Structure 1
Amino acid sequence: MHTMSMTKEGTLELLWQRMSEKGDFPSLQRSVSSIVSAMQSEDTSTADLASSVLSDFALTQKVIRLANSAMYAPFGCNVTTVSRAIMILGVDTIGHLALSLKLLEGFGEVASHRQDMARELARASLAGAFARDITAKTGIRDGEEAVVCTLLHHVARMLVAYCFPEEWQQIQQLASNEGISDSDACERVLAISFPELAEAAAHKWGLPDGIARSMRPAEPADPDEPLSHADWLCTVANLSNEMVGELTSGADPDRIAALAASYADRLALDATEVVAIGEDMVRDTSHQEFLSISTGAPSTLLPPAGKPLDSVRRLATGLTEVRAATPGADADSLLNLTLEAIMQSLGFANCAAFLRNTHEKAFEARYGIGCDIQPVLGLSFPAAFEPDVFHLALTNGRAIFIENAHEPRIATRIPRWHRQHFGHVKSFFLLPVQQRNQPVALLYGDWGHVPCAGGLGSKEMEFLHHMGDEISKKLEGIAAPAEPSLHRKPAVAR
């Protein structure tokens, strides 16, 4: 078995070179560096940051959800706009949220083709979730910074797996054969440990020194001395990664209890609380796929195609949020909040709102979120009846679920513009919004190329119609604008 003979500096130089040659990670470095620059710039305004956040759908979801979380409840109180969320969360928190997303996205494409990378990415995601839960429990509002530190621990592992695949296999075999840690095996094979590599990557990408130093192993602390911020970050990151290591390698109760006890005092938590957070994470259905990938076990909790198992519970929660926001929100904010609530509840890939424009006698796509929505915004279809499913929903005033848009009998009732922009879509949903028995809007959602074989139940439909009623209360002021609200003239679709 070949063992590389090089110095720590030589390993780093070769690593950066291979990253550059492979072409995937220079973009990650640019993304991370630009986010850090924005966080450190005194010229970054709320408007600039809001615009940047809104260009990233996944980040938008996380920002608004965090601003409405229990930790920020006294300040948040039904936040529906990114601008308001930034005012509550602060630039640093938004920046750390963006950093955690970019660190995961940077390896996502590679992980889809390699099992070892997928396993490491799944463990990183679980560790980040554990760090977020731990910090929420302590009531400290630097949780997103701790998540970044936790993910960076895994970045070193993923960089080695990606750039040195042969040595990565050697590291795994050496650790298994000799009963040593992966990091010790990495130091013997590549002359550098994982924490050292993670710290070097943090410095190279311009991350703050406190984050870079959190890559180091957690040192025993003086019980009479409070942790510095850097030591706190280091402690949370190390606990999170060690806990996920235990949870994904047998979940031995005694080992987990011992691990929790070794960290609990440093974080001012009871050891049983630390154990409970880990147990809750394992039971959480949203983590089941990551747990299955990281352990190699088949998933037993896969949702019906395209739709979450707990969609009814999600819709109930979403409706509560929408109703709470209705009195104080303007129509724009309420529409965006409702689309997001429906999208998260039903697992849509795309969601849009077509509003009636009485001057143009058409329904215009004026709001939307999702991977395929941008080309459709600005498009309109005539309000006059045509024999397709969109007009059928508008005429009947009831929601319509299309299970298979490619089925020949249904395909003839799908308008041409939908086939052109959403030809890959199998299942979609339409919800008309009415005022005085007249349609004023049509909400649309689809599951992309994934069919929704389970359909939508009566309880789901009930919640969706209630959401439509809330929109109806607010829509009168924008349903028929004098000028289109978009930057370009809408195209008429048929």
Structure 2
Amino acid sequence: MPISFSPVSTINARDVFLQKIDKELDLPAIGNAVARVVQMTSSDEDAVADLTYFILSDVALTQKILRLSNTVRYRTVSGIQVTTISRAIYLLGFNTVRDCALAMLLVERLSSAKHSHAVRAELVKALYASVIGREMARSSKRSGAEEAAIAALFANIGQVLVAAYDYPSYAEIASLVENEKIAQDAAGVKVMGCSFSLIGQSVLREWNIPEAIVQAMTPAPGGALKPSQKTQERMQQIASFSVETSGVFSLKSELAKITAKNALIARFGSALNITSDQLADLIESAETETRMLAEIMGLSDTDLTEDSASAQSETAGIPNELLMNPTPVASEEGEERHPSGKPVKARDRLLAGVQEIMQMTSAGHAQANDVMLHMLETLYNSMGFRFATICLKDAKTGEYRSRIALGEDAARRRAGLIFTLGKQRDLFRLSMESDADLMISDASDTKISELLPAWHRELFHDARSFIVLPIIVQKNPLGFFYADRSQPAPEGVPSDETALIKILKSQVLAALGHK
């Protein structure tokens, strides 16, 4: 006899579960981070800068994206190491980096929860689905493809949360699906009073994720699907295909995989115009990338292959602290630095940045904004600055405004950095008038402090060393790079480092000259 629940009882069950997990997990905090990334679209003019800033604000996320960029799968033919996030976005593509950042956020915030093996297994499925969704989006010229890939990533967020915060229900649902062949959502309603899908959609709505993405998470109707001209329906088909294809990843027998692939073609082949050979290639490529991503994110090999519920039972009762966990990505905190914060090997970092920017510009596809962002990030990382920005002149008002900013308190400083170069004699005016790069090692020196404008003393009152690099094209002042530290830098900037900075700047000027 079919199980029947009223909408009211279903909603109550959902609310009870969400209230339970909100006590242990700060859902709004995760939601704010996720929503910020989801709202970034490749068509937005400031998207690359915004995504770069977001990633750089999280050290662990930065290291993982750079590690991904330097894997065999993504490294360029030249073999030059990728050292900046802006370069990673340029090479891998905006959508790839954004979707990977979203996946890494989920893994970082949720993989250490109780019953971590089951949670990690579900997160791997989400990774796999997102890779499939991204590949489908890449080959589609239809609107909504980007959103479908994001929906694929979040489609099993309900499973992840239930595995983490109500494991007995998760295990019982898995048992019903396997032994009684009940559909997963129906099993969820039977055990918990609400489905995984409802939980997932409710969480995403709480996070203010666009409704089109939330709706695309709804499983597509059963049976063979037909091609659709409706954007929302096609998004739903791509997301469902991605999620159902992710089930192939954990199958062990070749016969089971063949059967599953045939079922996928029968169900989605016509709707998504995909053949058996194309599906086989897609699955092989996605498996390779998923394993690579899982390794970078610290998900173990057992998470990739074993059934989550059965594997969890094998370690039941053993504290997570006693289980062998993957080694986290090594940080750069141990790198030798001067007291100012500047890396001792600043020259090597600058050289890597120069090699990257030369490769970008020689390919002929780099936009001026990409080149400027790359230089800013190279300066910020190579020289150990606490804050770095690009200020550009507004042709109508004559005001200089911070357009892109990285580092400590970047949002506040960027918002406040609006000024004009008056007639007063100060460092910034002198630098612009003479087109001179300034590298100040001790801003407290009287000769220097007397030349600091009021806006700088107010906004950067604790800056003790800084650089100013004017941007002038054909005698037309366009703006400048500015970066500072809160400590003096008596080590200065040696001639070899200065030369590399000038090369970086020359590439920016060349890109602006051809704009």
TM range, smaller chain:
0.5 to 0.7
Q: CA deviation at 1:102?
A: 5.0
Deviation of residue 280 (structure 1)? Answer: 1.3
Q: 2:262 aligns with which of 250, 258, 264?
A: 258
Contact 2:137 2:149 in 1 (8 A): no
CA distance in 2, matches of 1:265, 1:320: 46
Indicate yes or no: 2:356 matched with 1:335: no
Mapping for residues 350-361 of structure 1, pairs under 5 Å:
351-353=381-383, 359-360=440-441
Residues 282-303 of structure 1 show CA distances to partners (whole Å, capped at 9, x for unaligned) of 23462453572232499xxx99
* Residue 325 of structure 1 pairs with residue 360 of structure 2: yes
Displacement, 1:126? 1.9
Matched, 1:383 2:464: no
- Indicate which of 27, 30, 53 corresponds to 2:29: 27
- Are 2:269 and 1:239 equivalent residues in the alignment? no
Give matches, 1:95-174, under 5 Å. 102-110=105-113, 114-140=116-142, 142-174=144-176
Give the root-mean-square deviation of aligned CA atoms: 5.2
Counterpart contact for 1:128–1:150, Cα < 8 Å? yes
Hey, what's the Cα distance between the residues in 2 that align with 1:378 and 1:195? 49
CA distance in 1, matches of 2:96, 2:292: 23
The alignment partner of 1:325 has SS state of helix
Greater C-alpha radius of gyration: 2
Maintained 8 Å contact 2:125/2:246: yes
Counterpart amino acid of 1:173? S
1:105–1:305: structure 2 CA closer, same or farther, 3 Å change rule? closer
The 8 Å contact of residues 215 and 234 in structure 1, kept in 2 or not, is answered as yes
> What's the CA shift for 1:150?
1.1
The CA distance in 1 between the partners of 2:189 and 2:500, in whole Å, is: 60
Q: Indicate conservation of the 8 Å contact 1:153/1:198, yes or no.
A: yes
- In structure 2, give the amino acid aligned to 1:127: A
Moved more, 135-144 or 152-161: 135-144
| Partner Cα separation in structure 2 for residue 54 and residue 210 of structure 1 | 26
Please give the alpha-carbon distance, in whole angstroms, between the structure 2 residues aligned to 1:174 and 1:144: 34
What are the within-5 Å matches in structure 2 for residues 283-362 of structure 1? 283-284=288-289, 286-287=292-293, 289=295, 290=299, 292=301, 293-296=303-306, 322-326=357-361, 333-336=373-376, 351-353=381-383, 359-360=440-441
Structure 1 residue 272: Cα displacement: 1.5
Distance 1:476 1:206 in 2: 43
Relative distance call for 1:221 and 1:212 in structure 2 (3 A) is farther
Cα contact 1:138–1:269 (8 A) shared by 2? no
User: How far did residue 9 of structure 1 move?
Assistant: 1.9
Q: 1:147 to 1:365 in 2, by over 3 A?
A: farther
CA shift in 2, pair 1:236/1:291, >3 Å: farther
Say if 2:506 is the partner of 1:439: no
- Alignment deviations for residues 52-95 of structure 1 (CA, whole Å, 9 cap, x no partner): 761432788979x9xxxx9xxxxxxxxx997xx99xx99x9999
Aligned residues: 345
Higher relative contact order (CA 8 A, sep 6+): 2
C-alpha offsets along residues 155-206 of structure 1, whole Å, 9 cap, x if unaligned?
1101212232222222233333334444333222112222233233334444
Structure 1 residue 281 corresponds to structure 2 residue 280 = no
Superposition TM-score, scaled by structure 2 size: 0.52
Distance 2:235 2:220 in 1: 9
Q: Residues 265 and 276 of structure 2 are in contact (CA less than 8 Å); yes or no, is this contact kept in structure 1? A: yes
Within 2, Cα distance between the matches of 1:109 and 1:141? 36
Q: 1:250 to 1:291 in 2, by over 3 A?
A: farther
Cα distance in 2, alignment partners of residues 96 and 476 from structure 1: 33
| Alignment gaps of 5+ in structure 1 | 71-79, 308-316, 341-350, 368-375, 385-393, 395-433, 442-468, 479-494
Could you tell me how far 1:238 is from its partner in structure 2? 1.3
How many Å separate the matches in 1 of 2:143 and 2:373?
Answer: 26
Report the counterpart of residue 473 of structure 1 in structure 2: 503
The residue matched to 1:382 in structure 2 has which SS? coil
Percent sequence identity over aligned pairs:
18
Distance 1:379 1:269, change over 3 A: farther
2:382 aligned counterpart, secondary structure: strand
Query: Structure 1 residue 184 and structure 2 residue 214: aligned?
Result: no
Matched letter for residue 473 of structure 1: I
1:141-161 superposed Cα distances (whole Å, 9 cap, x missing partner): 644312221122211101212
Change (3 A) 1:163 1:303: closer
Tell me how far apart the structure 2 counterparts of residues 199 and 304 of structure 1 sit (CA, whole Å).
31
> What does residue range 15-94 of structure 1 map to in structure 2 within 5 Å?
15-32=17-34, 50=49, 54-57=53-56
1:99-152 deviation per Cα after TM superposition (whole angstroms, max 9, x unaligned): 6665555424537x7222122112212211221112213345644312221122
The one-character-per-residue Cα deviations of 1:420-478 (angstroms, maximum 9, x if unpaired) are xxxxxxxxxxxxxx8xxx3326xxxxxxxxxxxxxxxxxxxxxxxxxxx9766235899
User: Structure 1 residues 264, 48: closer, same or farther in 2, change over 3 A?
Assistant: closer
Amino acid at match of 1:56: I
